[in-house]
Copies of this chain bind each other. A is one copy, B any other.
Amino acid sequence: MEIMIESIGKLVNEFSRLPGVGKKTAQRYAYKIIDMTEAEAKEFADAILSVKKKVRYCSVCGSFTEDDVCGICRVRDSSVICVVKEPRDVSAIEKLHEFKGVYHVLHGTIDPMAGVGPNDIRIRELLARLGEKDVKEVIVATNPDVSGDATAMYLARLIKPLGVKVSRLAHGIPVGSEIEYTDDVTLTRAFVERNEL
């Protein structure tokens, strides 16, 4: 039935582009749109267009912003820079209200298998920032996978000679979980990075 009605079929296809959304879920979403008032649907469509029109990358840190320089870069302590892979990682860390410094978004991590080298991500821009301001510490917050580890090692080798401290987020057993159910790799990292009491 939904194939027979072109506009519904098209909307189902569009919703299917979203991550983790199959045909059935896309259909439920499409029905929800049909159930909306015209004004609600217009607001939805406008929100999509508005994000594409307004959101861009901060010219300093590379995170999302609607201005030239993002709100974090404008007001926060720029002596500590947290390096992340994606703008969404900034959002995850900001939620903690713990980190008071600024960010640097690499827009990727070094991954030779995928043809991503150090020049393909925003490492040059990071070095330029280190030259401009008095940076005390760079915290590398890339994911704990091969590519994230390689990037962290690469950055440490590059930045430490400049006299800037380089640290990395700790890996280990997630708080609240059990040793029995922790995967081998994580458990091994927890041993290697064990802390003296």
**A interface residue numbers (CB < 8 A to B):** 1-2, 4-8, 10-11, 13-14, 17-20, 25, 27-34, 36, 38, 40-55, 63-66, 71-72, 87-88, 90-91, 94-95
Contacts of A4 in B (CB 8 A): 71-72
What CA separation (Å) do A17 and B35 show in the bound complex? 12
Report 11 cross-chain contacts, Cβ distance below 8 Å, ordered by A residue.
A1-B90, A6-B66, A8-B51, A11-B50, A17-B36, A18-B28, A19-B29, A20-B28, A27-B91, A31-B87, A41-B52
What CA separation (Å) do A42 and B50 show in the bound complex? 10
- A50 close to B7 (CB less than 8 A): yes
Q: Which of B7, B32, B54, B65 contacts A18 (CB 8 A)?
A: B32
Q: Which of B7, B42, B65 contacts A54 (CB 8 A)?
A: B7
What CA separation (Å) do A48 and B53 show in the bound complex? 18
- A11 close to B45 (CB less than 8 A): no
Residue of B nearest to A25 (CB): B20
